[in-house]
Structure 1
Amino acid sequence: MTAPWTTVLARVAEQLNAHGVDWMLLGSAATALRGAAVVPGDIDIAGRTEDDIVRAAAILPTPQSAPADGPADWISTAAAPVLHFGGAEERWTFGRWMIDGVKVELAHIDAPAVDGLMLETRSPLVWAHRQNLDCHGQPIPVVPLEVQLVTMIARHQDARLAATLAAVDPAALDLPLLRRAIADKQSEDPTLALPEPIRTLAAVGGLP
C-alpha cells in the first residue's frame, strides 16, 4: 500500500521540478525515503534561496484564506503565501500547506554566521552534496545522508538514527563528508557527543 505522504511528495516534486524551483527534501521524509522504518509527521523542504520559496508558493495549491489561531495553525494563502521572520543572525522565508491531509513545509534560512559550515538546512555548502532519490517516478533531491546523521545526533533522535543506520549500507557513506559534518557541528556545539556506531564509522580514516 502506498503511504499518503509519498503520493503528496511526488505531486509537490512534480510541480517544483517543472517550474525550476531549487529545492531539497529534509527531515523524517528524507529518512523514510531511504527505507528507514520511520513514519514522517510532515514533509520538510528547503529552498536554496528566498525566491525559491516565493516561487513555490505561487504554484502550490493555496487557498484564498484560512483561519489561524496562531503560528502553529498558519498556512500559506493567496493573501499571505509566505512568512518572513527572524533577525540578522537567522532570517526565515517560510510557507506551509496542507495537501490531502499531509503537512508540507518549505523554508529558506539565511544564516550568514554558518555559511562556511557543513550543516543541514542553514548552510549553502550542503547543496553541492545533494543526493537524488525517486518517489513514484519523480526525482527527489535529498539532503546528504552524512550531514543528516549528524543532525539526528545533535537533536538526540536516537530511534531515527538507529532506524536509518539499519536501512542504509555503511559502505556507501562518504566518510570525508561525514567527518566534515561532525567537525563543523562540533565547532558550533562543542558538547556534541557521538554515539558508538557513528564514532566507529567516522574513525575509519582517523577521526578520534
Structure 2
Amino acid sequence: MSLVRYRRHDTEFRLLDVPDELLPAVRKAGFTAADGHWSRSFPFAVAHLDEAWVNFQRLIEPALRQIAGSEPVPWREALDEVCRRLGGAGVDWWLTGSAALAVRGLPISPVDLDLVVADADARRVGDLLLDGLIEPVARVDWFCRWFGRAMLGARVEWVGGVGPGADQPEITDFGPVAAGRLEVVRWEGYEIRVPPLALQRAVSARRGLVERVRLIDRQPRTTPP
C-alpha cells in the first residue's frame, strides 16, 4: 500500500494499491473511492494538517489492520492516555460506543474509542493528541460540527458540537438525549461518563447486535455514583 498527499481545492490523504484484505477496513474508516485510490479530504486552513500527514503515513496501516481484526487493539492503554491527557486539561468529554460498555465490565473488546466532546473543546483535543493525530480536527456537515481521529496505539475518534440531528430519526447513544442522562463509571482509577445502559441496549437492539444485547442483559444493574 502506498500513500500520497494530494492538493487541489483541498488536501487529500490518499491510499493507493490497498491490499484486498484491508478494503473492508478502508470502507469502514470512511475513505472515499475515486480514480483508483481511496481518500480523506481536509480544508487547507485546518490546524495541524502537516503533523497529521506525517502521523498518517506512519499509523494508518496499523489502524486499518486493527479495524480488519488482524492486529490486537490495546484500547485500555489508549483510554488511559485519553483520561490522563483530557482530564488533566479540563476537557469536557464523555465515552460512548462499545468502549462505554467495556468500562462497565462487559466482556467486549472495542475496536476503537468513541468520544463526544464539547463544541468549544473539539479542536483542543487535536492539540492534546497531536502526537497520534492522523486526521486533523475539521468542520463537518453532519450531526456534529467537528470530527477528529488519532491513533494512540488504538484509534480514538471524537465528535464535537453534537446537535439535535444526532437523535433523528431515533435516539442514539451519542446525541443530546444521552448527554442529558450520563452516568459515571469508575475505571482504572478514573471517573468516566458514559450513556445509560438501557439506552445503549436499545441502540444495540436496533442495530441487530444480538450478542451485545445478551451481554447487557446479564450485566448487574447498579445505581450510578
Q: Shift of residue 97 of structure 1?
A: 0.7
Match of 1:120 in 2: 173
Correspondence list, 1:46-125, <5 A? 46-47=116-117, 49-62=118-131, 75-76=134-135, 81-86=136-141, 90-100=143-153, 102-108=154-160, 110-113=162-165, 119-123=172-176, 125=177
TM-score scaled by length of structure 2: 0.59
Match of 2:94 in 1: 24
SS in 2 for 1:86: coil
Distance 2:180 2:162 in 1: 17
Aligned residues: 151
Counterpart among 33, 51, 58 of residue 103 in structure 2:
33
Q: Give the conservation status (yes or no) of the 8 Å contact 1:44–1:104.
A: yes
Q: Give the conservation status (yes or no) of the 8 Å contact 1:28–1:38.
A: yes
SS in 2 for 1:149: helix
Gaps of at least 5 residues in structure 1 are: 65-74, 175-208
Alignment RMSD (CA, Å):
2.6
The change in CA–CA distance for 1:114 and 1:105 in structure 2 (over 3 A counts) is closer
Q: Which has the higher contact order (CA 8 A, sep 6+)?
A: 1
Q: Shift of residue 40 of structure 1?
A: 0.6
SS in 2 for 1:62: helix
Correspondence list, 1:178-197, <5 A? none
Q: Counting strand residues as a fraction of each chain, which structure ranks higher?
A: 2
SS in 1 for 2:131: coil
Give identity over the alignment, percent.
Answer: 28
1:8-49 deviation line (CA, Å, top 9, x unaligned)? 2011111111111111111111111111121111111111x2
Match of 2:194 in 1: 142
Match of 1:162 in 2: 214
Q: Shift of residue 111 of structure 1?
A: 3.2
Distance 1:63 1:140 in 2: 22
Q: Give the conservation status (yes or no) of the 8 Å contact 1:109–1:122.
A: no
Q: Give the conservation status (yes or no) of the 8 Å contact 1:34–1:168.
A: no
